[in-house]
Amino acid sequence: MSASSLLLAIQGQFGDNTLRAEYESFLEAALEMERDTRGGPVWGTADKARLAELVERGRDGDLAAMESIYEMFKRPVFGLIYRHAQNQAVAEDLLQDVFLKIFSNLRNVRDAGTFPGWVFRIALNTSYSYLRQKKAQGDKLVSLDDLGGNVEDRASEAVEKDLRGPLEQAIQTLAPRLRSVFILHDVQGFKHEEIARTLGCAVGTSKSQLFKARIKVREYLRAKKAV
Amino acid sequence: MRCRRANEYISRSVDGELAGRQAARLERHLASCGECRALLEDLRKIVGGATELDQPEPSDRVWRNIRTGLAAADVKPLVEGISLEPRPLFGLGVPALRYAGAAALAVVLVVSGVVIGTRLGRQGTPAGSDRGEKYTLAKLDEAERYYQQAIKSLGEAFVSQKGVLVPQVAELFDRNLAVIDATIQACRRAVLEEPDDLQARSYLLSAYTEKVTLLDSALDLQRRDRETAGKGKKIL
């Protein structure tokens, strides 16, 4: 039984809506990946031939191939998750969860060209799911993980005249969807076409959300007199 | 051109997507609009700053845990009682290490259980939550048993190979283990005092996770040290 099928089994037993929603969003991402095949690959930055070979080997259970896939994606995926979770330990747990989901479902990947989009979609869905759970828990629980190493701490370490600290804080104030678009485009350098595929929206929506995100970031920075 | 349209052009201009007539129209607007000029300047700073943000790195433990989780999928037949040819995990031919996989399964159970537990705790509706809470507690008990098995097996493997480690490293591991053990004891006391306290149980299971991760790291280090020593002998 794979980790994800175990999750599904547990959900059925518990009848828990949060987990079911999480798994459904994961399945939705998997289905979306299948639909993406029609549009062809758009991830120009990935080494497609190498990735295709790694995915093929990973499907056959080649651990070294999986590790190479992990190495290939860990930084951008972690960057995305980290800026949603705002905590190193939590982000690492989520990253682990994301890659377990990916590797458990690698056999469903038919086109390596759509693989990166699928990876980021799972990362986003996992991040959103975490944010929903965190919001549901409210301020009642303070995890030990929340006591150190968060983004705000890091931001305050940045040199004051540097924009990086306030900018990190500004990103945290964005709504999840705007935050995702801003991180993917402005921090990680993805194209709107790639973002639209990942988020399952139109390119125009990605552009307008980026603009909204930038305006909100600017408002925050101006209030802090950082720009 | 109105400012609203200019704003759209400004955002595209920052991304280098504006050219020709549109760029010229924006230029003309900017010449007469201070607010839009300020917006353009700010957005350039923001976009420039965003590209310079630190790229956070995950620690090595993440891949170790993923690998353990993947191994958990491989030990399924053992869990279900079907025989399987023994094969080494993490490069070690120690059968006991198969419980590391069980620990990863437990992690999944724990995460699910704790999430549900905290939700149940919050709901406070006695009718439906009683049965769910009992079930969650039972699952947490099950997860705890997996952890204990995993820790026992990993601990035995670690002790049997301890001589491979450099003494200072072994001492450091011992010290860390002692700290984690103390945490486990404290969490256990809390659980014994309040057996139905899901939060206390989640902390206890987190402490178990830490111990499994530490032991796994130790075994990984032992394996690497043995490999290095092996290569050294071949060269000699």
Q: Do B116 and A19 make contact, defined as CB atoms within 8 angstroms?
A: yes
Task: Using an 8 Å CB-CB cutoff, list chain B residues near A88.
Answer: 56, 59
For the record, the structure tokens of A5 come out as: 């099928």
pLDDT at A2 over 70: no
Q: Do B63 and A2 make contact, defined as CB atoms within 8 angstroms?
A: no
What's the pLDDT at B201? 79
Q: Do B105 and A6 make contact, defined as CB atoms within 8 angstroms?
A: yes
- The answer on B107 and B201 residing in a single domain is yes
- The answer on B27 and B128 residing in a single domain is no
ipTM of the complex: 0.71
What's the pLDDT at A203? 93
Q: CATH for A150-227, among 3.30.70.870, 1.10.10.10, 3.30.1490.20, 3.30.300.160?
A: 1.10.10.10
The residue of chain B with its CA nearest to that of A191 is B15
Q: CB-side exposure of B86: number of CA atoms within 13 Å?
A: 10
Angle, helices A164-173 vs A63-85, to 10°: value is 90
Select the residue of A10, A11, A79 nearest B55 (Cβ to Cβ).
A79
The C-alpha torsion from B68 through B70 and B71 to B74, rounded to 10°, is 160
- The answer on B75 and B15 residing in a single domain is no
What's the pLDDT at A66? 94
Task: Using an 8 Å CB-CB cutoff, list chain B residues near A104.
Answer: 73
Q: Do A92 and B58 make contact, defined as CB atoms within 8 angstroms?
A: yes
- The answer on B126 and B14 residing in a single domain is no
Split into its structural domains, chain B has a count of: 2
- The answer on B227 and B149 residing in a single domain is yes
Q: Where are the beta strands (DSSP E) in chain B?
A: none
State the average pLDDT over residues B24-36: 94
Calculate how close chain B gets to A100, using CA atoms only, in Å.
Answer: 6
- The answer on B68 and B26 residing in a single domain is no
Q: Provide the mean pLDDT of chain A.
A: 76
Select the residue of B47, B108, B116 nearest A3 (Cβ to Cβ).
B108
Q: Is residue B56 part of a domain?
A: no
Which tops the pLDDT comparison, B193 or A217? A217
State the average pLDDT over residues A86-111: 90
CATH 3.30.70.2860 given to domain A1-139: no
- The answer on B65 and B22 residing in a single domain is no
Please list the residue range(s) of chain A that carry CATH number 1.10.1740.10.
1-139
- The answer on B78 and B40 residing in a single domain is no
Give the DSSP per-residue string, B146-197: HHHHHHHHHHHHHHHTGGGS-HHHHHHHHHHHHHHHHHHHHHHHHHHH-TT-
- The answer on B139 and B32 residing in a single domain is no
The band of B172, judged by pLDDT with boundaries at 50, 70 and 90, is confident
- The answer on B158 and B137 residing in a single domain is yes
Q: Determine phi and psi for B89, rounding to 5 degrees.
A: -105, 145
Which tops the pLDDT comparison, B121 or A38? B121
Q: Measure the CA–CA gap between A150 and A152, rounded to whole angstroms.
A: 6
Hey, what long-range contacts does A143-152 have (CB within 8 A, 24 or more apart)? A143/A90, A144/B203, A144/B206, A145/A87, A145/A89, A145/A90, A146/A87, A146/A90, A149/A87, A149/A88, A149/A89, A150/A86, A150/A87, A150/A88, A151/A82, A151/A83, A151/A86, A151/A87, A152/A86
The band of B6, judged by pLDDT with boundaries at 50, 70 and 90, is very high
Highest-confidence segment of A102-106, B19-23, B37-41: B37-41
Choose the weakest-confidence range: A97-111, A182-196, B77-91. B77-91
Task: Using an 8 Å CB-CB cutoff, list chain A residues near B116.
Answer: 14, 16, 18-19
Domain that holds residue B39: 3-51
What's the pLDDT at A150? 46
